Amino acid sequence: MTEDLATEDPVTGDLFAPGSFFAALRGAAAADWQAYSRHAFLSQLADGSLPEAAFRYYLIQDYIFLINFARAYALGVYKAQTLSEMRHCQASVNALLETELSLHIAYCRDWGLEEAQVLASAEDPGNLAYTRYVLDRGLAGDFLDLMVALAPCVVGYAEIGHRLHADPASKRDGNPYWRWIETYGGEDYRALGRGAVALLQEAAERRLGRDPVASPRFAQLAAVFVQATRLEADFWQMGLDRG
């Protein structure tokens, strides 16, 4: 059974606005969104049963992913139509390169992974498929295509983190993954999710009109969102398969 999309928005705390662009995309991908946001990797993360080898592999691949994420946002600067869009993407590139990658390496060290080992690791085919798909959508399409392809990650992690952090069934004491849950369930990351939802809405209205969901182009964009969501689920599975 899929989630009721008329319930409270776990990222903004508001009800999904009828016809809002992100809600419509999420609705179009309902079954795939459920498979992604409720994946077994996350269930095991929440109860602390995830094999440590699976998490370490995920951490290594996520570092490689973040590098390509920075490339995608750099492409967003070029594809943007307005200064506000350019500044949003520039801020994301700066945050990734100047802060997030360093924090990620520090977190990897806590798990016994040294920077040289992480940097020397090969990119998993699943990681390659996902990141290159996002970049391809940005190169072949416009700014909106790129933001739609990025949305399942940016907004999805905010939703997942918020749900796991708020769920009383999530194990806190003695859970080696609780720090990860706190990071993505915290207000700082929720703010990033809210910003991504707002940017997506503005970008859609600028290019598709006041009712972007009614645009003939919506079906094509929804297909991009569905594919990116499936690749996100594959990213979790990639970790489980190596556990």
What are the distances in angstroms from CA 152 to CA 37, 125, 128, 162, 170? 10, 19, 16, 15, 23
Degrees (nearest 5) of the Cα angle 193, 31, 176? 55
- Total-model pTM: 0.92
Do 22 and 202 touch, CB atoms closer than 8 A? no
What domains does the chain contain, in order, with CATH numbers? 37-241 (1.20.910.10)
Could you list the pLDDT tens digit for every one of the 243 residues in the chain? 334 444 556 555 553 455 579 999 999 999 999 999 999 999 999 999 999 999 999 999 999 999 999 999 999 999 999 999 999 999 999 999 999 999 999 999 999 999 899 999 999 999 999 999 999 999 999 999 999 999 999 999 999 999 999 999 999 999 999 999 999 999 999 999 989 999 999 999 999 999 999 999 999 999 999 999 999 999 999 999 987
Backbone angles phi, psi at 15, to 5 degrees: -70, 145
Around Cβ 214, how many Cβ atoms within 10 Å?
11
